[in-house]
């Protein structure tokens, strides 16, 4: 029987994914909270301590850090000495690792979070298991994002090696960004020895600066709420690189004023602007949140 290790903080889609794995012949191995969630859904789960021979220790700091886990993930399936070593020690291979990391960034974003609380949200076992699976992507599925669950199930049916490789690369992207966020928190030096900014993809763009170029829009995880990173497109076709630049310039210009303001922008230059009074009685508050709307025109 194939074996899957599941240990997630974000339980989104977990039950459906786990049920899909069982349907495909997987035994599920899991840790505390994840195991409880799956068992509540009526799924059969093997506790990780039944595999390691040790209970979870140190308030959960040590769960999956054990040779019975990591040897099962890292063994090369086409290397006879590796498989013989597993057999000699009665270690079963692990064919899929589904882990998402402790929510470190979300934790430190809360003003009331203490340093001790932030430290406890530094995941150790999760990145270790994911990186091991990603290293052995020739045989093992490394799943770090609930958004990938559906295509992983499809990929299992097709033994999609290209998808395994793609997911492995995604694991290293996620863990690199995670480590960069932790490093920035622990050492807020403005000019550290190693500077590693992290950005997440917001959306693909219709085209780049020119119509034959490709482009995508990335944002910082700590982008302010009023930035384009958190803006919602209300209608119209997908934006281009130039649309994003114009909208960003327009937002910067509008922010120079306290009054309701309209700015028309072309190629990041102000073409026209107007400001006025709000359409409500003086001294009253708006009944709805104020929203900033952009109307982006394009010749393409």
Tell whether the model's pLDDT for residue 33 goes beyond 70: yes
pLDDT of residue 260: 83
The region of weakest confidence among 77-81, 136-140, 277-281 is: 277-281
- Residue 290 or residue 273, greater confidence: 273
Contacts of 196 (CB under 8 A, 6+ apart): 176, 179, 180, 183
Stated as kind and residue range, the H or E segment containing 241 is helix 241-254
Q: What is the DSSP letter of 240?
A: P
Split into its structural domains, the chain has a count of: 2
Contacts of 175 (CB under 8 A, 6+ apart): 101, 127, 130, 131
Does residue 228 lie in a domain region? Answer: yes
Stated as kind and residue range, the H or E segment containing 200 is strand 200-204
Tell whether the model's pLDDT for residue 300 goes beyond 70: no
Does residue 260 lie in a domain region? Answer: yes
Known catalytic residues are: 135, 267
Percent of the chain with pLDDT over 70: 92
Tell whether the model's pLDDT for residue 46 goes beyond 60: yes
Tens digits of residue pLDDT in 275-290: 776 555 555 555 444 4
Does residue 195 lie in a domain region? Answer: no
The region of weakest confidence among 90-99, 151-160, 246-255 is: 246-255
Write the CA distances from 93 to 75, 83, 97, 99, 250, integer angstroms: 7, 9, 11, 17, 56
Residues 148 and 260 in one domain: no
Does residue 174 lie in a domain region? Answer: yes
Residues 65 and 167 in one domain: yes
| Domain hosting residue 164, numbered range | 2-186
Residues 96 and 177 in one domain: yes
CATH at residue 84: 3.40.50.1380
Residues 145 and 19 in one domain: yes
């Amino acid at each position: 029987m194939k074996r899957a290790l599941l240990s997630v903080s974000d339980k989104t889609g977990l039950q459906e994914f786990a049920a899909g794995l069982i349907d495909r012949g997987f035994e599920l191995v899991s840790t505390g909270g994840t195991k409880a969630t799956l068992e509540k859904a009526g799924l059969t789960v093997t506790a990780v301590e039944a595999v390691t021979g040790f209970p979870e220790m140190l308030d959960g700091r040590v769960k999956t850090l054990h040779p019975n886990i990591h040897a099962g993930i890292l063994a090369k399936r086409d290397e006879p000495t590796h498989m013989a070593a597993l057999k000699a020690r009665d270690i079963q291979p692990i064919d899929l690792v589904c882990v998402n990391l402790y929510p470190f960034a979300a934790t430190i974003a809360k003003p009331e979070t203490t340093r001790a609380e932030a430290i406890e949200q530094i995941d150790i076992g999760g990145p270790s298991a994911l990186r091991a699976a990603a290293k052995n992507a020739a045989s093992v599925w490394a799943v770090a994002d609930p958004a990938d669950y559906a295509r992983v199930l499809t990929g299992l049916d097709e033994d999609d090696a290209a998808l395994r490789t793609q997911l492995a690369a995604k694991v290293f992207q996620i863990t690199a960004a995670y480590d960069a966020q932790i490093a920035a928190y622990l050492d807020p030096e403005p000019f550290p020895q190693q500077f590693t900014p992290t950005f997440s993809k917001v959306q693909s763009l219709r085209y780049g600066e020119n119509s034959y170029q490709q482009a995508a829009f990335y944002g910082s995880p700590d982008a302010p709420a009023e930035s384009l990173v958190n803006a919602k497109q209300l209608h119209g076709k997908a934006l281009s690189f130039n649309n994003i630049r114009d909208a960003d310039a327009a937002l910067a210009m509008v922010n120079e004023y306290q009054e309701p303001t309209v700015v028309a922008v072309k190629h990041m230059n102000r073409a026209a602007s107007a400001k006025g009074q709000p359409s409500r009685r003086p001294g009253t508050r708006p009944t709805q949140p104020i929203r900033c709307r952009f109307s982006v025109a394009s010749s393409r």
